[in-house]
Amino acid sequence: MAGIEAIASRTAIERDLRWGMYHGRNSVLPDLMADKGGALTSSVLAKAVAKNDPLTIQVLTRAAYYLGLHAASLLNILDVEMLVYGGGVIEGLGKWIIPQIHEVAMQHCINQVGREKIRIVEAVLGEEAGVVGSALMVRDSL
C-alpha cells in the first residue's frame, strides 16, 4: 500500500484505530464492533463518530486532512471544479468527512480565483460507478 491509500484508506483507518485500542486508548469501538462480529465497518465508524468517540474522531480527522491535501494537489494540477470521492468510509461518513476534506483542500489550493466554484462531493452511483463511467466513455468516443 502506498500514497494516499497508506494513510487515508479504510484499511489505514482501521489499522490506526486498532493500534490505538491495542495501546490502551479508550473507545466505544470494541462495543460497537461486538455487534458486528468484531468487524470494523463503516457503519461502526459512523456510530462511533455519532457518540463523539475521541479515538475515532482523531483518526478520521487525520484521514480527512490527508484527503484534503490530496484534493488540493488534484485541484492544483488538473484545474477542475469538482472532485468526487467514494468508497465505504465516504458512504458511511460523507456528511461528516467531506466538509473537512473541502476545508483543507481550500486552505492548500494555489489558485485563489474561482475557489468558491470548487465542489468536493460524495459519489452517488455506488457500485454502479465503474459501469456508468465506462458506458459514458464509450458513448463519448462515438
Give the pLDDT score at 137.
82
Give the pLDDT score at 132.
78
> Which residue segment(s) compose the domain that 57 sits in?
4-141
Query: Residue 44: which CATH number?
Result: 3.30.420.40
In the chain (142 residues long), the average pLDDT of successive 10-residue segments reads: 87 96 96 92 95 98 97 92 90 94 95 83 79 83 83
Give the pLDDT score at 25.
96
Strands (E), 1-142: 82-85, 119-122
Number of domains the chain contains = 1
Give the pLDDT score at 79.
84
Other Cβ atoms closer than 10 A to 140: 7
Give the pLDDT score at 142.
82
Give the pLDDT score at 127.
67
The model's pTM: 0.86
Q: Please give the Cα distance from 110 to 113 (Å, whole number).
A: 9
Q: How many residues make up the chain in this entry? A: 142
